[in-house]
Chain A
Amino acid sequence: MSGNAELLSRTLAGAKAEDRAALVAYLPAGFPTVDGGIEAVKAAFEGGADVVEVGLPHSDPVLDGPVIQTADDIALNKNHVRIADVLRTVREAHAASGKPVLVMTYWNPVDRYGAERFAEELAEAGGAGCILPDLPVEESEVWREAAEQRGLATVFVVAPSSRDERLARITAAGSGFVYAASLMGVTGTRESVGDQAADLVRRTRATTDLPVCVGLGVSNAVQAAEVASFADGVIVGSAFVKRILDADGDLPAALDGVRTLAAELAEGVRKR
């Protein structure tokens, strides 16, 4: 069975055809519970997310700030989330929404599980691709081959510190879209998105026709609209996780928080 890389590309092209940016949400699997996490992804889609990245929690999330660290900790140490649970999250969220679902995680869990096996099972679950932010392009060949054979996109991250020749190399290897980090730092909400993002998007576009989506620090509709003015997609993670944390165990309230935030952001990405 082939993965849904095509669906991802079609979805992003569809947003572009509507002259708007796409809304990409990030939610960790296994949080606040495994079943609650599945409902949260569905709620994000219901609220208006075009794409969801499902986080596969890791014990050592070195690129994540305190909010996602807390979620990962709950998923792993309280709910004992397993890769099978992550794949079920992808399967059920995709089946319910018909929309593209990616997995975002660190390289060691995939490497340990087996790149081939993980790609096979992710494709089988209806996944659209994978984002592995600590797997640089130089080390990525094994994964990319496994992913490409199974119709999965490999989304690479670029950063404000990436020089132009590196951008070209990264975007040539990637597929689906390019994840442009708006700033130098870990995940988490920020007061402002910063002026490095627009420049990075411009430099990235000079190297590729892939859509360029911007993440890190975006948490509200105003920021979403600002980013939507220069990017093909807006990625929001910690702000969703924070809504679930703030609900303090009340799942209906958490899902309502996710749905409401997605709706606000969906409005934002249409106000470019």
Chain B
Amino acid sequence: MPETPAAAQDFFHPDPDGSVPTPAGYFGAFGGKFIPEALVAAVDEVAVEYDKAKSDPAFAAELNDLMVNYAGRPSALTEVPRFAREAGGARVFLKREDLNHTGSHKINNVLGQTLLTKRMGKTRVIAETGAGQHGVATATACALFGLDCTIYMGEIDTQRQALNVARMRMLGAEVVAVTSGSRTLKDAINEAFRDWVANVDRTHYLFGTVAGPHPFPALVRDFHRVIGVEARRQLLERAGRLPDAAVACVGGGSNAMGLFHAFLPDGAVRLIGCEPAGHGVATGEHAATLTEGEPGILHGSRSYVLQDDEGQITEPYSISAGLDYPGVGPEHSFLKDSGRAEYRAVTDDEAMQALRLLSRTEGIIPAIESAHALAGALQVGRELGPDGLVLVNLSGRGDKDMDTAARYFGLYDATAEVDEDNEVAVK
């Protein structure tokens, strides 16, 4: 057993409130376990093993050791005053999950579930990935623990996130480009489920977000709760008070849930999720599930879903591969309907503007996913005014997005200059 670090118990914070979800996995009307019979035993095994792990000090000790000495936790909290000038003068702090090993928040959940995989005696891990951040984190942990690793990724995403495909392959993972359906995240999850049904004996499906069948929404949330627990403590130390708003981007919703959860009892803290509006919700080309969807079942649980009038899932769109998903975690649906969290939609253009603004004012290039939260934070800051205090989850770094950003801003053309209105002028 690894030696317990000085900050023992500081990085694994399962929700202390045992009432949500219910034993059947319900957050109010949302959640549950809509899975084929072939997966029931495996999903139940995950739930049982997680329950055991939660109360096992050895599990927390090993996870803490990894969080500190491998992932680099705690992550920094950075105030961004130059960026905040565009946010109505409100103070803006970024929770720097982009500084974690592998470059995003995803490593928190992956390390936790990899330890569960070992406890269950499974030797193979599969995962879906959209932007490639969860895939890279999973491939990383599998390299660390010597597990076979297969990552399913929509073909379109393998193209727009080619750097992450190369990273996963460098780490020894097999990357399968999924060519069915919309060839994005939803279809990658479908294919991962098909693999899991066929290979469940030795395989753990390391689900990457707070969606899926029970216990995944609660389990993934618990491994990410550290984000909000740390940020809350850091902000109290640095600003002397809680934020007026905690803002995060929402695709499946894992980084948002990780940020929000520790603030649930703080009723004065607004929890604001930023969904991808793509070309604008009015165009139909978006992935704003909570804003535009209706309750339905996708990938094992009941939640808001983008679907037609006969329950066929509609194809989402976002410039951000990590948010390009027609579903959302059930606890977000619960928080939306209860009014505890609010969700707004941010367009591709707003997100890209925010990406460039943070890059140029603070020297931090965010992931396009996280840029949706930054765009939301600019709006919220202006609404709050100069006395406002906004906490943003900077869930990932933008290296992987440089090809998309370069094309968007015309950066591959050495003679081009991007002016402040984002117009590309060729000299």
A residues bordering B, Cβ < 8 Å? 58-63, 65, 69, 73, 76, 82-83, 106-113, 133-136, 138-139, 156-163, 166, 170, 181, 184-186
Contact = CB atoms under 8 A, between A and B. Distances in A.
A185 B35 contact: no
B34 A139 contact: yes
Interface string B13-44: 00000000000100000001111111011100
A185 B198 contact: yes
B68 interface: no
Given A63-B194, A112-B310, A139-B33, 8 more contacts: A106-B297, A109-B310, A133-B36, A136-B37, A139-B32, A161-B40, A184-B199, A184-B201
Interface string B196-221: 01111100000000000000000000
Contact of A185 (B37, B186, B197, B297): B197
Contact of A107 (B40, B297, B309): B297
B36 A63 contact: yes
B40 A166 contact: yes
Given A136-B33, A184-B200, A185-B198, A59 B38 contact: no
- Name the 4 nearest CB pairs between A and B, nearest first: A112-B311, A109-B311, A159-B38, A185-B198
A138 B313 contact: no
B33 A138 contact: yes
A85 to B, nearest CB: 10
Interface in B300-346: 300, 305, 307, 309-314
Given A112-B296, A184-B197, A186-B194, A157 B37 contact: yes
B78 interface: no
A87 B313 CA distance: 20
25 contacts: A59-B181, A59-B312, A59-B313, A60-B186, A60-B298, A62-B193, A62-B299, A63-B36, A63-B197, A65-B194, A73-B180, A83-B310, A109-B310, A112-B307, A133-B37, A134-B35, A134-B36, A136-B33, A136-B34, A136-B40, A139-B33, A139-B34, A157-B37, A161-B41, A181-B37
A43 B157 CA distance: 42
Contacts of B300: 134
Contacts of A156: 37
B404 interface: no
Interface of B: 24, 32-38, 40-42, 180-181, 186, 190, 193-194, 197-201, 296-300, 305, 307, 309-314
A161 B42 CA distance: 9
A186 B198 contact: yes
B34 A134 contact: yes
B41 A163 contact: yes
Contacts of A163: 41
Nearest to B312: A59
A76 B311 CA distance: 12
Contacts of B307: 108, 112
Contacts of B200: 161, 184
Given A83-B310, A108-B311, A111-B311, A161 B297 contact: no
A156 to B, nearest CB: 7
A83 B194 CA distance: 25
Given A113-B310, A184-B198, A186-B197, A138 B36 contact: no
B298 to A, nearest CB: 7
A254 B296 CA distance: 36
B312 A181 contact: no
Contact of B296 (A76, A82, A111): A111
A69 B36 CA distance: 17
A108 B297 CA distance: 5
Contacts of A61: 190
A199 B310 CA distance: 38
Contacts of A135: 34
B306 to A, nearest CB: 11
Given A60-B298, A65-B194, A162 B40 contact: yes
Nearest to B24: A138
Nearest to B192: A62
Contacts of A157: 36-38
Given A107-B297, A133-B36, A136-B35, A62 B194 contact: yes
B313 A60 contact: yes
Given A109-B311, A112-B307, A139-B33, A181 B181 contact: no
A58 B312 contact: yes
A73 B200 CA distance: 27
A65 B193 CA distance: 11
Contacts of B198: 184-186
A24 B30 CA distance: 36
B90 to A, nearest CB: 41
A83 B309 CA distance: 10
A161 B35 CA distance: 13
Which of B36, B199, B200 is packed against the most chain A CB atoms within 10 Å? B36
Give the most central of A113, A136, A181: most B CB within 10 Å: A136
A170 B41 CA distance: 14
Contacts of A106: 297
